[in-house]
Amino acid sequence: MTLQATRHNLNLAMRRFYFMFSILWGVVALDQATKWWVMASFDLYEVRQVIPDLFNLVYVHNSGAAFSLLASAEGVWKEWFFIGVAVAALAFILLLFKQFCVRHILYTVALGLIGGGALGNLIDRLRFGSVVDFLDFYVADYHWPAFNVADSAICVGVGLFLLQNLRDGNEEKQ
pLDDT digits (tens, 9 = 90+) for 52-77: 999 999 999 987 666 556 555 566 66
Number of domains the chain contains: 1
Residues 158-173: what's their mean pLDDT? 86
Q: Is 133 in the active site?
A: yes
- For the purposes of burial, counting CB atoms within 10 Å of the CB of 90, is it exposed (0-12), middle (13-18) or buried (19 or more)? middle
Q: Is 151 in the active site?
A: yes
Residues 24-32: what's their mean pLDDT? 98
Greater pLDDT, 23 or 83: 23
pLDDT band at 41 (very low <50, low <70, confident <90, very high): very high
- For the purposes of burial, counting CB atoms within 10 Å of the CB of 132, is it exposed (0-12), middle (13-18) or buried (19 or more)? buried
CA distance 15 to 83: 29
Stated pTM of the model: 0.87
Greater pLDDT, 168 or 50: 50
Please pick, among 133, 136, 141, 168, the residue that the annotation labels catalytic. 133
Beta-bridge partners for 143: 138
Is 32 part of any domain? no
Is 140 part of any domain? yes
Please pick, among 31, 124, 136, 151, the residue that the annotation labels catalytic. 151
Alpha-helix residue ranges (DSSP H) falling in 42-173: 76-100, 105-128, 149-173
Q: Is the pLDDT of residue 42 over 80?
A: yes
Domain that holds residue 139: 3-22+45-173
